[in-house]
Structure 1
Amino acid sequence: MPLMPLPDLRLDGKRALITGGSRGIGAAAADVYAQAGAEVLLCARNGAEAEAKAAEIRAAGFLAQGFALDVTDLTAVRREVAARGPFDILLNNAGTNRILPIQDIEEKDYDAVLGLNLKAALFVAQAVARGLLAAGKPGSIINVSSQQGHTGGPGRSLYSGSKFALEGLTKCMAIDLAPHNIRVNTLCPTFIDTELTRPVLAVPGARERVLGKIKFGRLGQMEELTGPLLLLASDASSLMTGSALLVDGGWTAG
């Protein structure tokens, strides 16, 4: 009998849209998806930064484009996705955080965090899904969530609230889109050692609290997300939908 074949992690011939693509998880995913054979389209509010990242990828011999897009501008989202799509893969990565105790939260804080982390994520995913449906194509939508979508934390009411909601949204989208062979999952990282997390960890006591929760006793490294990112984008995860892929170093284990 032949041996079981290895999973197919290649993305040849596929097109991937990455929001928040100029830095952090978005930039790492762009590198990986391009090397796996996809054409990557990176967008960010700062179009020059998105194009600079795309230029790095092109210089390495792979396919990439960068463009400006504020994903909270829903008219622009619908226009750009329709004009540039359809996309086989969406990494719904744009997000923000405001660390505030519940008693200090103002309406403007709620609007900023929930408007980007939940509302914009919903309508970006909807635009990509509509493009796939119109083209009759399968696809993979990856909503970047967090371990904080599965647990609480001090000052995290807005962020955790948005990510808990994103988890619920993902499950419902997965149910709606499964008949069309469009998969929808979340990626839920712990604290990753990046320029974006370092100021948060510089707050007195923050690093000690974080490392006390991560069972390995260390921060995650960006390269430790690239395997899960590729798994969810590729056909290797063809039976996964409505799932949360926790890459949290055991934080939520207890």
Structure 2
Amino acid sequence: MQFSGKSVIITGAGKGIGRATAALLAARGAEITAISRTQSDLDDLRAAIGGCSIAADLSSPEGARKAMAEAGTCDMLVNCAGTNVLESVLEMTEAGYDTVMGINLRSALICAQAFARGRVAAGGGGAIVNVTSIAGHRGFQDHVCYAASKAGLEGATRVMARELGPHGIRVVAVAPTVTMTELAAKAWSDPAKSAPMMARHPAGRFAEAEDVARAIALLLSDDACMVTGSVMPVDGGFLSV
């Protein structure tokens, strides 16, 4: 799974899974275009792995389109930008909904559209990995908008695979379990909440960002050339038992 000569756009590359994916793919030879909101995160990443960086607010459709135009045509796209607002069904706000759906779903669709248009114009080929979540498969307290956004992205993944397949573009998703990032810490820092959840994992632990990055690398590689339209759980067996 080497990526020499390949170029990869990664959204949400400043932190967590996105950063781990950028580091892994760069170590395997890829040229990375990193998109993130925070310039200091991008500066730190670029110092570590090189490549290009684009500071952008993907919650804005205009910001997402501008960032993708600046990124140009690349070989692969990883839609990893994400956020969460912890609200119950009874407490859900329009602001929370707009924040979560705007970044987790709308920006992913805009970035995928721009990427695919560039690949089609270049003659086709390429791959997209959308990062979703087991929250799209199971009902977790206070995750109503987050779950909706991730389930929606999985549905869109299947449509993209169908429509873009004739152009040689594969589209897949990874659905991680709780992954120990800054975002996850906000939701799972309380041992009373995390311990029962962890006990449901046959692997006996939550995921690390590098675990998910390796799954993304596999799905981007030629070893997965017949994999499209699928969702790969990276969940330590959580969804299976």
TM-score, structure 2 normalization: 0.95
Alignment partners' CA distance in 1, 2:3 and 2:124: 15
Matched with 1:48 is: 40
Q: Is the 8 A contact 2:130 2:172 kept in 1?
A: yes
CA distance in 2, matches of 1:28, 1:37: 14
Where do 1:39-118 residues align within 5 Å?
39-58=31-50, 64-118=51-105
SS, match of residue 172 in structure 1? helix
The separation in 1 between residues aligned to 2:95 and 2:80, in whole angstroms, is: 22
Supply the distance in 2 between the matched residues of 1:48 and 1:66 (Cα, whole angstroms): 11
Which blocks of at least 5 consecutive residues in structure 1 are unaligned?
1-8, 59-63
SS at match of 2:166: helix
Mapped to 1, the partners of 2:124 and 2:24 lie a distance apart of 22
Q: Which amino acid aligns with 1:55?
A: A
CA separation in 2, counterparts of 1:235 and 1:113?
Answer: 33
Q: CA RMSD in A?
A: 1.5
Which is worse superposed, 194-203 or 179-188?
A: 194-203
- Distance of aligned partners of 1:88 and 1:165 in 2 relative to their CA distance in 1, 3 Å threshold: same
Counterpart contact for 2:9–2:71, Cα < 8 Å: no
Deviations 1:25-78 (A, max 9, x none): 0110011111111100111111231122111113xxxxx122201122323333
Counterparts in 2 of 1:128 and 1:228: CA distance versus 1, 3 Å: same
Secondary structure of the residue that 2:182 maps to in structure 1? Answer: coil
Identify the match of residue 134 of structure 2 among 137, 144, 147: 147
Deviation, structure 1 residue 198: 2.5
Where do 5+ consecutive residues of structure 2 fail to align?
A: none
Distance 2:213 2:64 in 1: 26
The equivalent position to 2:14 in structure 1, one of 18, 22, 26, is: 22
Write the deviation string for residues 147-180 of structure 1: whole angstroms up to 9, x where unpaired.
Answer: 1122211111111111111110000011000000
From 143, 151, 163, give the equivalent of 1:156. 143
Structure 1 residue 104, shift from structure 2 partner: 0.5
* Aligned 8 A contact 1:13 1:39 in 2: yes
1:235 alignment partner in structure 2 = 222
The residue type equivalent to 2:93 in the other structure is: E
Who is 1:174 aligned against? 161
CA distance in 1, matches of 2:211, 2:68: 29
Query: Equivalent of 2:184, from 184, 197, 215?
Result: 197
Aligned counterparts of 1:118 and 1:244: Cα–Cα separation in 2: 16
C-alpha separation in 1, matches of 2:164 and 2:180: 34
Separation in structure 2 between the aligned mates of residue 199 and residue 126 of structure 1, nearest angstrom: 31
8 Å Cα contact 2:131-2:173 kept in structure 1? yes
Query: Larger C-alpha radius of gyration, 1 or 2?
Result: 1
2:112 equivalent in structure 1: 125
The answer to whether the 8 A contact 2:17-2:181 is kept is: no
Q: Give the deviation of 1:102 after TM superposition.
A: 0.6
CA deviation after TM superposition for structure 1 residue 204, in Å = 5.4
Give the 3-state SS of the residue equivalent to 1:131 in structure 2: helix
Q: Aligned residue for 2:24?
A: 32
